[in-house]
Amino acid sequence: MQDYPKKLLILLLFTVLSTPIWAQKQFRIDMIQATSHPESDISPRVSPHGRWMAYVNHNAGNFDIWLRRTRGGGRAIQITKHRADDYYPAWTPNSKSLVFVSQRSDALGDIWQVDLREAKGYLIPKGKPKQHTFYKGVDSYPTVAPDGKKIAWVSDRSGQEEIWFYNDHTSKTLQLTFLGGTHPCWSPNQDFIAFTSFRADPNSNGDIWMINLHGRKPSTEEETQFWDEREYPSWQVTQGKATDAFPAWSLDAKTMLFARYERDTNGDHVI
């Protein structure tokens, strides 16, 4: 089984185990193998309209971004072909562009974007990729706003990994978090960005937090304990000893999925 079905199974199993027993009986998982190449296939991202799956493949000797139909078969299309690694694709809301991380001008990664056009039933690159960030350091994990005009990503340009934000309307780049943040995911609602942070406890394994771009500022002592006043209102969603990371939203923005990692610390095979 390739990486794509394995990763999908992890998310679905977490969903099942988080629901009541009566709901589990009604839940069915139909697994379909999406890729079969002997090289690694990772980071699958289904387009907003559901017709295409972008993923990262090592077929050409380095990591590139490929596309495949979600239904109807057909061949895979290679979207990036640079000898440097291209990875972590994120769709724009209109399904006509991919924002991604590339090491072609920086070994630690920059944010790039490639536009797509349809030709003979396939999506192919439209022109050359465009570079969005030029910082000589970590720029990674891009996510695109529902209006397609804003990009959030992770950068260490402030000295540690934080979430940054580019607004195409104003051509300004701003820092969104100041107490640590990674794995941002923009909600279809436009107002919310879910992310992973270790701010609640330096020794924690990571929790899911949420930025509310138009919400009220935290005011109580409990609410402001792990919040920096330079940030937009931020709220803790999960807590505990487990590692919670890589949040994702449902299309109606009412449900958040994430990966939870737990370890058998005493060898009794019970988590």
Tokens for 155?
A: 């950068």
Tokens representing residue 206 in the block: 């990571």
pLDDT at residue 12, rounded to an integer: 37
115-162 pLDDT, tens digit each: 999 999 899 999 999 999 999 999 999 999 999 999 999 999 999 999
**According to the model, what pLDDT value does residue 104 have?**
96
**Residue 101 DSSP symbol:** E
Residues of the chain with pLDDT under 70: 1-29, 202, 264-271
Structure tokens at 73: 């078969």
Query: For residue 8, what pLDDT is reported?
Result: 35
Residues 6+ apart with CB under 8 A from 82: 64, 102, 104
What pLDDT score was predicted for residue 28? Answer: 62
